[in-house]
Structure 1
Amino acid sequence: MAPIKRLFPLIARLIAWPVLAVLICLEPIIRVRITHLWTARIGHLALNTLIYAAARRRLGPEKRTFRIFFGANPCNRQLFNMWKRVLPVIESRVLSAIYHYAGQRVQKSRVFAPLDCNAGLHKNIALCNGVLSFTEEEERLGHELLQRMGLGPDDWFVCFTSRDPSFHEARVGHDDKDHRNCTVESYLDAARLVTERGGFAIRMGAMVDSPLPDIGNPRIIDYASKFRSDFGDIYLLGKCLFLLGSPTGTISIPSLFGRPVAMANNLPYMAMPGNPISLLVPKLIREPTGELMTFAELHRQGMFNCNPGANKEPWVWDQSEFYARTGRWPVDNTDEEILDLCRDMFDRLDGRAPDPEAARLQRLYKERFWAEVPEVVEYGPDIGPSFALKYRHLIEAS
């Protein structure tokens, strides 16, 4: 098998190059674009595709362009099938293999180039208010799922999730971004708040380290351990009042349906595009001395450059090796900070404006640290107002 496998790149190029030549010759008449969907991870399958779909929803079809998509072995079958309803998608392992083995010269050609994930993403996604919807049959299946979990037809719910290493360890044997991780226990006070307000709190996750502890509250539901399915992942995140999340691919799903997100433990400092009322609170960073770094210092050292459109090296702050080498370490949000974030999101949904000083700090945070990406300033999520008041000294420091 090994000698045959060495022939795969040659075979792929023998197929891809003639196709590429023909399509380039056709460009005076029509531009054909054949685009590979990122199907291996749900964050990419959701967000990268949403960026394109939202642009088309707002701006109309690409001029003089016929684009088809292809992919195989999706990480979430339900989401992949929903994309096939709104985009011309060919599911083919053969096409995916040819693309993979044909090499970078083919992959980076204008015919096969990946989607542009920068231009207009925050504005288009914020203003399109979702691009996917459920069929009548999917709604019926969704209601059955909710009923099995103990929810009635008039009940509302908030989803919550924390990033842990189990998913990545199961897929590739290790988690090379463990600085993003946090404990699900730190979200439980916020989950209790949801239930005190009359809702249900549903714990999400494709794979989790352990079930939720028994806290004696039947309105806090461990869907990830007891009910999880590809369909349920998308249905619940598409129907929740909001997602109280962490830096995982799951954070991109609610935006497909116009639902807001309250992201705790944000790291690196990426302003995820989505519903314009979304909120976030970042992990803080400690120096080897134990001192907290100010946001101005983090900005000078490139922490905010991970936002699409910032013309600098984006991922240095998203490498576990970087933290080990520098002796710095991320500080998880506390239970109280996540609880405050949840309260702040309820206030936003209820139309209650934040404290005027908190609102000033929210504007200052955006204008100082995301000024290089004006779309984030106008359409990106705000930092949580309670968090801004608590750490105003880190926001205002020069």
Structure 2
Amino acid sequence: MKYLFKLLRIISGLVIAIAIRIVLPIRNYKFGRLPSHEIGHYASNVEIHLCEKDAKIHGDSKKTADIWYRNPDHAVANNQLDTMWSRVIKISNSPITRYADAISRRLPGGSRFSISHHDRDAYGLYGKFQPHIKFSNSETKQGEDFLNSVRHTPSQKFVCLAVRDSSYKRDQFENRDIRHDDYRNNDISNFYNVAEQLALDGFLVFRMGAKVERPFGVDASGVFDYASNGMRTDFLDVYLSANCEIFISTVLGIDSIPEIFRVPRVLTN
């Protein structure tokens, strides 16, 4: 039975791939596979694509309709980011979309019906356009309620700190050899002093991360080992990263969140 379903999806995908070519003079439909399994690419690739559409880098965007679909082979990296993108772009949940895209790529002129996306702001568009996603009123209240529960004063500012290790990638891609990326890792203890100094200067400090190899180990008021103390949620990953005063990072996926929200970053390794 599963082979019958697959055959029907292939046939449906072929019909769609042909149909979008027929309607091309009226509307250009493009398929895009979201890098939804990696938070960094899910953030920056989509934001940069939308900025480039606004700037008409690749032609008139008014006649182009983008149809996205999630990576079917992996879980979504961050559900809050996925929710926010779903408000802005068309994300298809139909498995047929995947087949339509795959078939369309193999037909003549396939690249014309495929979204090419990347994670580099090559045209400097972040400084020209506002972020394409924003928090709803209820989400903003949720985020501020959390911050007010840990702030010493209502207006206290905060900094996010993200230090790369192998824990997250090892968990996500357990059947893949990821040692080639080990050179990007850093020792969290190298950031003890900066966290303590920021706390002395009146900032809250959140050590970020979905999975980390070991606790932060800084015993200072206002420094939170958010990654391992039970605070962490998909929502707060995005909210804190988007609203911090500055984001300090050793260059890993989550630092794309402050980037797409135009938050200043300090990148080091």
Normalising to structure 1: TM-score of the pair?
0.59
Q: In the aligned structure 2, how far is the partner of 1:55 from the partner of 1:151? A: 41
- Quick check: which has more Rg, 1 or 2? 1
**Correspondence list, 1:203-218, <5 A:** 203-213=207-217, 215-218=218-221
**Within 5 Å, which residues of 2 pair with 1:344-363?**
none
Highest relative contact order (Cα 8 Å, sep 6+), 1 or 2? Answer: 2
Return the alpha-carbon distance in structure 2 between the equivalents of residues 132 and 234 of structure 1: 11
Q: Indicate the RMSD between aligned Cα atoms, in angstroms.
A: 2.8
Aligned residues: 259
Q: Within the alignment, does 1:262 sit opposite 2:261 as a pair? A: no
User: Superposition pairs for residues 5-20 of structure 1, below 5 Å?
Assistant: 11-20=8-17
Q: Deviations over 1:2-39 (max 9, x none)?
A: xx57x787554322222111111111222111222111
2:235 aligns with one of 231, 234, 239: 231
- Do the aligned residues in 1 keep the contact of 2:66 with 2:115 (CA within 8 Å)? no
SS at match of 2:110: coil
Query: How far does the alpha carbon of each residue in 1:185-209 deviate from its partner, in whole angstroms, 9 at most, with x for none?
Result: 1122221221122111110001111
How far apart are residue 44 of structure 1 and its match?
A: 1.1
Is residue 56 of structure 1 aligned with residue 58 of structure 2?
Answer: no
Q: Where in structure 2 are there 5+ consecutive unaligned residues? A: none
> Shift in Å at residue 149 of structure 1?
3.4
| Aligned residue in 2 for 1:23 | 20
Matched with 2:34 is: 37
Partner of 2:148: 147
Q: How does 1:76-115 map to 2 (within 5 A)?
A: 76-90=78-92, 92=93, 94-95=95-96, 98=99, 105=106, 109-110=110-111, 112-115=113-116
The answer as to 2:138 corresponding to 1:137 is yes
2:175 is aligned with 1:178: no
Contiguous gaps of at least 5 residues in structure 1:
266-398
Equivalent position amino acid for 2:240 in 1:
L
CA distance in 2: counterparts of 1:220 and 1:118, whole angstroms? 31
Are the counterparts in 1 of residues 54 and 61 from structure 2 also a CA contact under 8 Å? no
Inter-CA distance 230–261: structure 2 relative to 1 (3 Å threshold): same
Task: Give the structure with the larger helix fraction.
Answer: 1
Shift of 1:75: 1.3
Letter paired with 1:74: V
8 Å CA contact 1:160–1:201 kept in 2: the answer is yes
Once residues 120 and 169 of structure 2 are traced to their aligned partners in structure 1, the CA distance between those partners, rounded to angstroms, is 30
Q: Structure 1 residue 66 and structure 2 residue 80: aligned?
A: no
Q: Letter of the 1:67 partner, please give it.
A: D
Task: Give the distance between the partners of 2:31 and 2:88, measured in 1 at CA.
Answer: 16
After superposition, give the CA deviation of every residue in 1:279-316 in whole Å (9 maximum; x if it has no partner). xxxxxxxxxxxxxxxxxxxxxxxxxxxxxxxxxxxxxx
